[in-house]
Structure 1
């Protein structure tokens, strides 16, 4: 359970950095956002009120202009005369002289000039006749049942009447819907009704008048009269929704025209700029936090790097490598611990080497004692006698084998040097191979190639033979096997390569041999005569190289299942110096 809760110091430091940066940022950001949103709503509400008031002023100004237009006939005697000529009761047979039509059309066209919002100006005579600024675009007579809007005009009794959207049929193009401004015209002296002047405003014109200022993309504008009837928009609207909390509603009623102007803007539209600013701020904040997090990880990694390096070196010491040293990169508590570790490893390395050298000296002493007790000349003479006897009996192969055995004994017993020439080691290996060839026959073949320039290179004695023995032991199967031995130079290093094409080692065996070979100096096992030494020869050769030259040298094993094993010996390139 403890392993599942393990967190490295680097992770803990990084988490602390992240928490200390994120929490204050989130708290300050939340309060800043709330304050900004509140201030934005106050500012936007004030702006909306200003816009609606400005629209109301524009509407009042326009109503006053239309009022002057509807009063214009009272100041034109020709128009008043025509109105008076048609002031009698409504008739089914109405005649409008051409000169009257021309005068009235010219008069009303002058009133309509440069006013694109006006569809037409129409005068309705008491006798049922119609004069229009559009001339022949309208009918010349009207009927009361088709113009119910006249009731609103009569109710104003000469005052200005603002008519909500209604359909009219006096235009030749057919039924159309207009908002209109109309007035009942009376004779100034007698106060007698002379007719009605009516100004028809189209929807596009009304929208141009009411919306010179933009409340917002999705905003809505409503205009209603004092009876609450909708004047704008003409169609397609259910009126303002006063109860919707998602809408900001602003209204103002004109003191002059008593019209109510209502503006509604979605709260989402009001908060759009705030939302965009919030998104931008959030993006910048996320980038800043990401950079801060990366810096936190970098800082924690930099702080913990000496400890990580020390931990890695400890693992190497644990695996048996006592030559490692940790780099002291800081002058703080971690640096002090690193220096103490280096001193401790140095002492351990010195003690282990001393123990190992003592054991080597013990073995050398045992070997020297054995050699001193033996009479090598007696052995050589005996082997020579056996060889002569074999030649006498025409057993030349046996004689050659005995002679090779003698070479092995002379090399191992007489030659007490720790380093020998590469050519001498190759001769010893060739003698050993010939003995193995007698035992294995045609199933065993070898190939040796060493550049003549490397013949006088120095290598540790008895270095190659254990590898050949290992290759035979693990690689020999039912099929013939060949071993190839060659040497090359890599910079200032000598490489001796022994490879075979045998069956190779299983993965389990290979891992066991490599692990045993690389076991540390503190895992030494003393061999006794006659014991089965699987892996011990390899390990001793590998450790002997490391003791002589350092941990960067040794034996490398490359196991190729069903394709053989490749041993690579790497040692410094040394030459014999002639005395």
Structure 2
């Protein structure tokens, strides 16, 4: 019963999933579209706020830059600074002029908390607006003097100044003081110290949002002074807020807007709740409908399960039979099951017969097997008999034959080095020379680094045999067989050339046609098959010849990791 209930449940759930799938897809797509629209709308509004903050910041910087420029180009200021630099200020008249001018600029412009002038002679003149003093200040005379390479330089301060228990953070603008009669002469550097809170008020863009001003990754202006001096990563709360930033081109400070997205998430959660409610109601409806519609098919599934159980126990006589008015799909199941069982029964009988034939073939092969050591020992005995009778040619032939057989039988189908293959061919040619009445000359042209290249055994033998059998047959002149090898990118090119009788062009065309039936050339056919088997489609062989002059065989073997130098 457990198995039946589980099967019923699986079908029941699958039907519900299929039925509810369109509803869920529609709900998910609509929710996704709404989320994307709301998120894009939020980002567009944040982008507009960011652009507005950037413009307001530029306007404020332009204002202070204009004031700073006027101060740096004022003739009175320039003349006073020159006199001080030239030590022409015995009565401190010029110093008094500068201090008066600095106090006048500070008191006339909101936000400028102090002005500091670093003179070329090392002297520092300042005015501290908060203390209303140009002679005594805990901070104005200690302001860092930046190196100004362009028109002006901007820098933030992450440590506040403290005056009468009031903490004030500053942003600073610096500009070189230059005599415009000689622009190459730097008279000093002027630094404006601006109240950060004024800049922060300008950058704020509305409710549910905070604007930070960053120098690098450090906050130099923020609605809450507790966050100044901290890194942006330590200030961020990506779970509650969304962030967008932009580099201000004038100051190279980064403006970052932080937007509370709790309202956005609340709307999204309400939409998800609505979706879950609709899905739950649809789920209840589908439970009832699925139960009604699945009942007629449970019997079919049970019958199929029982049929498989019977087949598992070895009963291949099992057949399914459903009611006559069953749907076509059910009838297909009935027909497919019955045909499958019948095919399985036939297949098992065929496998049994094949195993029996294989076992008989193995027994026959074992009975016909000759121990290679028996053959080697017999050849060795014959060799010694030949030596005793001073038949040294026969002895050499027997030794060559034994080496050939040993090379062929040992690790049959395996690989050997190109040098070993050439050594075997020389032994082979020694025996083949008896057919010709003379031993052909073997010339090799193979770089030393290719001697260790791995090649499958007996790939070259059929071509050498053809040279002896057809090329050198009836030839009275010296018979020469040339074997060369070269490395070509990722391939080894092996060339076998004889100076024999040659081959007609028609025969060459037949040999180079891989699709042609090569009756009478079984060795070449076998080599082609072995090349494809061992090396794949990258390996190839082709022939060229000229009658009465030569025949060349070209083999191309890929240099894979398996066949690299041993």
TM-score, normalization: structure 2? Answer: 0.37
Larger RCO, structure (CA 8 Å, separation 6 or more): 1
* Larger Cα-atom Rg: 1
TM-score, normalization: structure 1? Answer: 0.36
